[in-house]
Amino acid sequence: MFNSFFPPWRGGAETYTYNLARQLVIRGQDVNVFCANPPSKPGTYKVEGIELSCLPVRGWLYGTPLMTKLPLRLLQVRADIFHAGFPRYYNAFCTSIASRFTGTPSALTWHNDLPSVTPMAGALVEAHDAFVLPTYIQTFGRIISTSGKYAKSSQILRRYAWKVDVVPNGVDCKRFRPDIDPGPVREKLNLGGVKTILFVGALSKWHRYKGLDVLIHAFALVKRVQSDIVLLVVGDGTLRASYQELTSHLNLERSVIFAGDVSDEELPRYYAASDLLILPSRDRSEGFGLTILEANTCGIPAVGSEVGGIPEVIRHRFNGLLVPPGNPEALASAITHLLEEDSVRIKMGRNGRVFAEEHDWSRVAAATEKVYRKILNQREPSL
């Protein structure tokens, strides 16, 4: 398996790679993960039965670490299956080349389309999708999409629909549970008895699409009618200062807590300490929304934007609410409704746990193995 990073580096693709690899090991597979070394030193490690190869980074291109040793290492690997992820195009491209040269079948997980973070970047994305992507995407025997809705809405995946398999993301139902004691976190953050709204996500320019600024504006509207509430932001990045400046401008300094990065061990307690998760993503760069599953597993409902893969994770009025993207007023209305209607919120949280149990990582691994077998059973090479 090939991914840009690996835990303790935080990110949805990293969570996917770690949990899928771990479950495949449990199922008796030999798994070798290649990734960039930060925050570890370059070298080979053993992590819960996973052989982890951390390669040095020689540069960056459009938010992706360039590991110059990766192509040669891939040519030296003896494997039954190569499995890369997109939008990490560098890894996907290298995997494609190695797959062609070695004859090793390959799978590609399509987390989301390559995002356009700026107008200039948008031109680069269009050029990549039109001229570069076709040169390597055809090599992959199957493409795994984590959302059926996303697969149908992606112009790229629609071109390759004949080899797209939908395998949703997963969640660790043993680590995230409704019975986790929220006391230590509520005491640490001095939350008292106030209702707490949670946001979990990176605060970098590459994750601006998650719409934290939209949530902050919505929170300011909610504060007008509900004074006894707190917005808890878990995550860090280069945009943290600008988000803090926005809270100051809206006189919300005492009501918004920036908790920074939280360890994987502590993260479930932050969900347990909250009443509601918000994922206000702006556009289809949000291919799934793992934080929704994590919150649901802890019995917490979610409010999310009706974009990307989120509508496949939030069943409107069942385990949360869907709102139009980029609309602080609609988001504020949904938040207010769930904060005022305790019985509705609690019921949605219970529904969320039931929904999340259908997405345990063990089930994801079993479904992914079926995709691997499908690739291995293909008689004709994918050209």
Task: Give 323's pLDDT tier (boundaries 50, 70, 90).
Answer: very high
The structure tokens listed for 68 are: 């110059």
Cα angle 32-132-81, degrees, rounded to a multiple of 5: 20
183-357 matches 12-170+361-377 in CATH topology:
yes
Q: What is the crossing angle of helices 290-297 and 342-357, to 10°? A: 110
- Backbone torsion region of residue 380, taken as left when φ is above 0, otherwise alpha when ψ lies between -120 and 50, otherwise beta: beta
Measure the CA–CA gap between 53 and 32, rounded to whole angstroms: 7
CB atoms within 10 A of CB 215: 26
353-376: average pLDDT: 96
DSSP secondary structure string for all residues of 45-70: EEETTEEEEEEPP-EEETTEEE-TTH
The fold of the 12-170+361-377 domain, in CATH, is Rossmann fold (3.40.50)
Task: Give 200's pLDDT tier (boundaries 50, 70, 90).
Answer: very high
Task: Give 125's pLDDT tier (boundaries 50, 70, 90).
Answer: confident
One of 3.30.360.10, 3.40.50.2000, 3.90.1150.10, 3.40.50.300 is the CATH number of 183-357, namely 3.40.50.2000
Range from 231-235, 286-290, 319-323 carrying the lowest mean pLDDT: 286-290
Measure the CA–CA gap between 7 and 262, rounded to whole angstroms: 12
Sequence spans of domains, the chain: 12-170+361-377, 183-357
Question: What's the pLDDT tens digit per position in 223-279?
Answer: 999 989 999 999 999 999 999 999 999 999 999 999 999 998 999 999 999 999 999
Instruction: Return the amino acid letter for 193.
Output: G
Question: Positive or negative CA dihedral for 158, 159, 161, 166?
Answer: negative
